[in-house]
Amino acid sequence: MGEHLVAPEPDVDLRHHGDAEVVPGLLDFAVNVRTGTPPPWLAERIAASVGDLAAYPDPGPARAAVAQRHRRDPGEVLLTAGAAEAFVLLARVLRPRRAVVVHPQFTEPEAALRAAGHPVERLVLPPDFVLDPAAVPADADLVMVGNPTNPTSVLHPAATLAALARPGRTLVVDEAFADCVPGEPESLSARADLPGLVVIRSLTKTWGLAGLRAGYLLAAPDAVRALADAQPLWSVSTPALVAARECSTPHAVAEADAWARRLAADRAGFAAALSGLGLRVTPEAAASFLLVRFPGAHRLRADLRDRGIAVRRGDTFPGLGTDWLRIAVRDSETNSRMTRTLAELL
Ligand SMILES: Cc1ncc(COP(=O)(O)O)c(C=O)c1O
């Protein structure tokens, strides 16, 4: 069971993100964007769209491509300026009486709700962050959860999340890291049958497009219409729409899947190496990062920084503290460099 906590004022800096931890010259284990991205074929197509910038953006082709990729109708798709815009649109449109955010998770969903004036209740899962659907209050009419979750890397079973959907409740599942999981077996993106479900996806992480602002949400057509009405006109630029279209083709999905398989192997090796050094690695990691616990981890973070390596602090995530760090999984050679440095420091 998780710990319930009404947090009247944020007790942590919800607006702290991993990019603040990386300064030029540091080896980056802090930000979860895949290295070596965007791939050249994608960068070329985005660059080619510059010739079309005189016209206002037309989301039609991207919407159709995203719908096909997730076996949904185009009317169930809303393109957004990254997942971040989707959180803001939901906060603007919904009038929750009891909003519950499952933590530890990415802090922007809670920050967006608060910025829109909604009280937020936290369901803080204890380590190892397994979600019991019964821990979510039955009368919560808005539930926000990540899958796989940042920063825990925990992947909740689709059945667990599906059990949270019900009439009268909006269930928001942030799947910004779903394509880290080969075959995406726990994704709810194709589940048009679940009442009140909103799935949020991002192109930022897997495709290396943090600076472009490209993402989308999948929901019932009436929800999509209401959210679209709250969206600034032409919010998603033509290059971002080209990216959404190109990243939804079977070719792109297969490329992401092949990467996810390599990631799984690199992650397993890295997790074993870190465990061997005495760090407690949160088990069952499914995303492109590991959450580790070590007494005095905040000092280790400072020492790593002195050695030219950036990792993500854990203490700005509700439910974690100064003993936690999030470490991105890189290729095996880069991971080994991190392991060697850690071995020297420990
Ligand atoms: C879990 C999660 N969701 C969403 C986002 C935001 O993604 P986007 O760049 O698409 O706004 C992030 C970025 O760190 C994230 O970690």
Question: What tens digit of pLDDT does each residue of 13-31 get?
Answer: 888 887 878 878 899 999 9
Two structure tokens written together for 220: 């019932």
What pLDDT is attached to residue 10? 67
Tokens 């420990």 label which residue? 346
Mean pLDDT for 29-53 is: 96
Atom in ligand 1 nearest the alpha carbon of residue 150: 1
- Residue 36 CB-density burial (10 A; 0-12 exposed, 13-18 middle, 19+ buried): exposed
CA-based nearest residue to 310, from 13, 23, 35, 105: 23
β-strands 309-313, 142-146 pairing: unpaired
- CA 310 to chain centroid: 20
Q: Which pLDDT value is given to residue 303?
A: 97
| Complete edge-to-edge strand list for the sheet that includes strand 280-281 | 27-29, 309-313, 324-328, 289-293, 280-281
Peptide bond before 59: cis, by omega within 30 degrees of 0? Answer: no
Q: How far apart are CA 245 and CA 225, in angstroms?
A: 20
For the Cβ of 149 lying below 6 angstroms from any atom of ligand 1, the answer is no
Atom of ligand 1 nearest to the CA of 149: 1
Give tens-digit pLDDT for 166-207. 999 999 999 999 999 999 999 999 999 999 999 999 999 999
How much distance in Å is there from the Cα of 251 to the middle of ligand 1? 24
Question: What's the whole-number mean pLDDT along residues 82-87?
Answer: 98
C-alpha distances in angstroms, 98 versus 3, 170, 199? 16, 11, 20
For the Cβ of 20 lying below 6 angstroms from any atom of ligand 1, the answer is: no
d(CA 180, CA 287): 5
For strand 170-174 and strand 142-146, is the pairing parallel, antiparallel, or unpaired?
Answer: parallel
Among 33, 202, 326, say which to mutate for ligand 1: greatest number of ligand atoms within 8 Å of CB: 202
Q: How far is the CA of 277 from the centre of ligand 1 (A)?
A: 30
Q: Which two tokens stand for residue 98?
A: 């009891």
125 and 2 Cβ atoms separated by less than 8 Å: yes
Residue 282: band (very low, low, confident or very high) from pLDDT cuts 50, 70, 90 = very high
Mean pLDDT of 255-276: 98
Q: Are 232 and 285 in contact (CB under 8 A)?
A: no
CA 205 – CA 20 distance, rounded (Å): 16
Contact between 209 and 95 under an 8 Å Cβ cutoff? The reply is no
Amino acid in position 214: A
Q: How far is the CA of 83 from the centre of ligand 1 (A)?
A: 6
Helix (H, G, I), strand (E, B) or coil at 309: strand
What is the reported pLDDT for 5? 56
Contact 4, 122 (CB under 8 A): yes
Using alpha carbons, select from 204, 193, 202 the residue that is nearest to residue 171: 193
Query: How large a percentage of the chain has pLDDT more than 90?
Result: 92
What is the CA(267)–ligand 1 centre distance, in A?
20
Phi, psi for 290 (deg, rounded to 5): -120, 140
Q: Evaluate: CB of 146 within 6 angstroms of ligand 1.
A: yes
30 CA distance to ligand 1 middle (Å):
14
Cα separations in angstroms, 246 against 6, 137, 200, 251, 339: 42, 40, 18, 9, 36
**pLDDT reported for residue 1:** 47
Per DSSP, the residues of 8-39 read SS-SS-TT--GGGG--TTSEEES--SPTT-S-
pLDDT level of residue 39 (50, 70, 90 thresholds): very high
Q: Ligand 1 atom closest to Cα of 105?
A: 1
What's the gap between Cα 88 and its chain centre?
A: 15
Question: Cα 107 to the chain's mean position, in Å?
Answer: 10
Distances (CA, A) of 181 to 72, 168, 253: 20, 30, 12
Interval between CA 202 and ligand 1 midpoint (Å): 7
Is 82 a pocket residue for ligand 1 (Cβ < 6 Å)? yes
Distance 17 CA to ligand 1 centre (A): 10
